[in-house]
Amino acid sequence: MRARDKVAVSALRATLAALDNAEAVPVDEAETRGVALEASPAGAGATEAARRELSESDAADIVRAEAAERLDAAALLPTPAHADRVARLQAEAAVLLRFLDGHGTP
């Protein structure tokens, strides 16, 4: 962000969101329906759930999937009409892949 690299910031923010979503624990619908007011959880953190812990391999898979999603989207766009968008998607994928292999290549 300090370097004002909009491509890297965009790719990293989206990937951090994907990692955060992967750590979320599914909500049990039975817990959210029909709870009487007096049985409702109260107090700070009463409704918090422990997050899943991702392994390094899980995190790498998510980063790879985010990069692949950008490369797939770039491949589907007609290059002459969307050359700027294709270049940005490819640049975002390269940023993410550099974190995995140090080269920035798929």
- Give mean pLDDT, residues 70-80: 91
Examine the pLDDT at 95 and tell me if it is beyond 50: yes
Q: What is the pLDDT of residues 17-52, one digit of tens each?
A: 999 999 988 766 545 555 566 666 666 655 567 788
Predicted pLDDT at 31: 56
Distance CA 100, CA 17 (A): 18
DSSP-based three-state secondary structure for 25 = coil
Distance CA 19, CA 96 (A): 13
Q: Which residues, 6 or more positions from 49, have their beta carbon under 8 angstroms from its beta carbon?
A: 25, 27
- Give mean pLDDT, residues 58-83: 93
DSSP-based three-state secondary structure for 3 = coil
Q: How many residues does the structure list for the chain?
A: 106
